[in-house]
Structure 1
Amino acid sequence: MARPKSSTSPGSPQLRFRVRVTRGDDIAIGPGKIALLEAIREHGSITVAAQSIGMSYRRAWLLLDEVNRLLRKPATASAQGGQHGGGSVLTPEGEELIALYRQIEDRAQQACAPEIARLLKMVAKG
């Protein structure tokens, strides 16, 4: 399931956490990779998932390859195309990865709620 849209008006200032886990110079986990994994969970296809988030198939494939190489166990499993077509699904590790990432975002947002409210009040309205 993709993240729910914000309930604030389009011109309202918003704060978004951008959690990234790096390994050397590589971003192992980040918001784009999590969004792609969520789209794969929803659509069962790299092609459709990439289209749904405005990403090229090649970019999606490269991101998935990087995620799967940098994790101890792969986040996705794919079947080759054929008479009935291929597909991609999340592994248990992929499901856990999304859940942990979103929990970290949510807890950080909650823990910083008073400071976030004060910060957003400082931003001029458009």
Structure 2
Amino acid sequence: MSETARQKPSALISIRIDLVPIGRLGPGKVELLEAIEASGSISGAGRAMAMSYRRAWLLVDNLNRMFRQPLVEAAPGGAKGGGAHLTPMGREIVAHYRAIESKAMKAAALHIDALRDAAAEPTS
């Protein structure tokens, strides 16, 4: 394939914020929070991410302990079923993380394009 017809690989920035010594906030935990909001449950979010309920619950517990206020509120199951949703603080944390990610992508766009231009052809 000619250089001009070559398709550039996609490029993303992955941000991990270390809140030392409290914990880390990164793309996986933020995706889990978004999946909880979308599915209305921790188990549904775990399934959507191919993650066990236990792993999802442990991550939620970790996230809830990282901040002054919980990010996720869960209602126990039962006859009416349980569920979970993001608290206002949870939605705020997701919004801040996504804003950081977006601003980093914009700030680095020139350099990301240079890396994409220099990238090798994908192998099949």
Structure 1 length as normaliser, TM-score?
Answer: 0.85
Choose which of 9, 15, 21 in structure 2 pairs with 1:13: 9
SS at match of 2:84: strand
Alpha carbons 2:8, 2:117 under 8 Å: kept = no
Structure 2: gaps spanning 5 or more residues: 1-6
Structure 1 residue 73, shift from structure 2 partner: 0.9
CA deviations over 1:4-50 (Å, ceiling 9, x no partner): xxxxxxx8523222211223466431111000000000000111111
Structure 1: gaps spanning 5 or more residues: 1-10
SS at match of 2:74: strand
Give the distance between the partners of 1:59 and 1:117, measured in 2 at CA: 36
Alpha carbons 1:28, 1:71 under 8 Å: kept = no
CA RMSD of aligned residues (A): 1.6
Choose which of 69, 78, 94 in structure 1 pairs with 2:74: 78
Aligned residues: 116
The aligned amino acid for 2:37 is: R
Q: 1:100 to 1:55 in 2, by over 3 A?
A: same
**Residue of structure 2 in register with 1:50 after alignment:** 46
- Percent sequence identity is 44
The aligned amino acid for 2:41 is: S
Q: Are 1:32 and 2:55 counterparts?
A: no
Aligned 1:104-119 pairs, distance under 5 A: 104-119=100-115
The aligned amino acid for 2:106 is: Q
Computing the radius of gyration over CA atoms, which structure comes out larger, 1 or 2? 2
